[in-house]
Amino acid sequence: MNTFGEYLRLTTFGESHGKGIGGVLDGLPAGLNIDESFIATEMARRQGGRNHYSTQRKEPDKVEILSGVFEGKSTGTPLGFFIHNTSSKSSDYTALKDIFRPGHADFTYFYKYSIRDHRGGGRSSARESSARVAAGAIAKLLLKEFQITLRSGILSIGDVTGEDIDFNFATKSEIYALDKKVEEQQKEAITQARKAHNSIGGVAIVSALNVPIGLGEPLYYKLDSAIGSLMLGLNGVKAVEIGSGVECSKMRGSQHNDAIYKGGFETNHSGGILGGISNGDEILIKIHFKPTPSIFIPQNSLNIAKEECSCIIKGRHDPCIAIRGSVVCESMLALILADMLLLNSASKLENLKKIYAKNS
């Protein structure tokens, strides 16, 4: 169950402190330019600035392409890739090898499998998201061919919430803040949490523009289903909103319905999705991240002998996972849209006629 997608399928493997993280992207159409420097740029975005707001674990995160590309172009065969772990310090985890860290997957992996790689969370580490960003970068290269663009940023850190949604500013901000007016306050909130050996939650926003009408496969692989699946399945995400989101429940129909005019929709409460299918409007998603579970304050827990104990965590951890998480969410939306674009190609007979015109 380490595969996502129906036509464009990403399978990932690897652990935080093993040899590395890898992936296989299958179903990519042939003839796409695979721009490795763009992939590197995306990987760097996920790593965040070398600043106080993200983990001190700094690895080059070089994506090595193992297959599926010939003379710079995709060949239609599976694109395998691997990202070597170069900076893992397993020794940080030795003291914790028999203890379940609160808020982590240690407890559930142990009882599910009766064995676990305790080093840095093993497979359950957020480090796996590097494979999602690598694959998402390739998906973006495909989407670019159709002028579909994606952006993201941070709306809230703790209870400091911005008002403006300025994706351009976010690209320059060390914490990917969307609102310049609150950026300093948000940084301060992170700094205070960090200094208290604690962590803090945050909210990310992801947007996609110029998405063609028709993407999404009802009824069980709708566009919003896929968003729900990937976003709520990401480490630390506890809530996902599309368009009007949680506010929808407070409205009446006459307020919420987006009136339709020749020029488009009057409002975008739908978040660009109607009946699980893109309607051509901006796709807007809000993702709520819990605070990093790894904190440096002693916590009550159990060990594998089911005895109560104090859990004291060391290592290098982001004080706020939402920041780098926002880039992962953007990558995952790219993967979803690319998959939907491919799936939709055979949705009607007239599409097939265009493709097989000369063969028939």
Binding to a second copy (CB under 8 A): which residues in 341-360?
Answer: 341-356, 359-360
User: How many residues bind a second copy, per CB under 8 A?
Assistant: 160
Helix (H, G, I), strand (E, B) or coil at 8: coil
Out of 47, 294, 326, 331, point to the residue binding a second copy (CB under 8 A). 294
Burial (Cβ within 10 Å: 0-12, 13-18, ≥19) of residue 111: exposed
* Interface map 233-252 toward a second copy (x if CB under 8 A): x-x-xxxxxxxxxx-xxxxx
Say whether residue 80 binds a second copy (CB under 8 A): yes
Out of 130, 156, 173, 207, point to the residue binding a second copy (CB under 8 A). 156
**CA–CA distances in Å: residue 130 to residues 126, 220, 327, 329:** 8, 27, 10, 11
Residue 351, annotated as binding a ligand = no
Residue 9, annotated as binding a ligand = no
Distance (Å, whole) CA 85 – CA 213 = 40
Out of 90, 149, 198, 268, point to the residue binding a second copy (CB under 8 A). 198
Distance (Å, whole) CA 192 – CA 109 = 32
Say whether residue 20 binds a second copy (CB under 8 A): yes
Q: What's the chain's Rg over C-alpha atoms?
A: 21
Residue 236, annotated as binding a ligand = yes
User: Contact 102/4 with Cβ under 8 angstroms?
Assistant: no
**CA–CA distances in Å: residue 246 to residues 151, 208, 239, 269:** 22, 20, 10, 11
- Among 37-45, 48-56, 101-109, 179-187, which window interacts with a second copy (CB under 8 A)? 101-109
| Residue 44 or 107 with smaller CB distance to a second copy | 107
Site for a second copy in 33-62 (CB under 8 A): none
Out of 47, 186, 278, 326, point to the residue binding a second copy (CB under 8 A). 278
Say whether residue 100 binds a second copy (CB under 8 A): yes
Residue 46, annotated as binding a ligand = yes
Out of 47, 54, 55, 124, point to the residue binding a second copy (CB under 8 A). 124
Q: Buried b vs exposed e over 336-359: b needs ≥16 C-beta within 10 Å?
A: bbbbbbbbbeeeeeeeeeeeeeee
The type of residue at 304 is I
Annotated binding-site residues read 46, 123-125, 235-236, 275, 290-294, 316
Annotated binding-site residues for FMN read 123-125, 235-236, 275, 290-294, 316
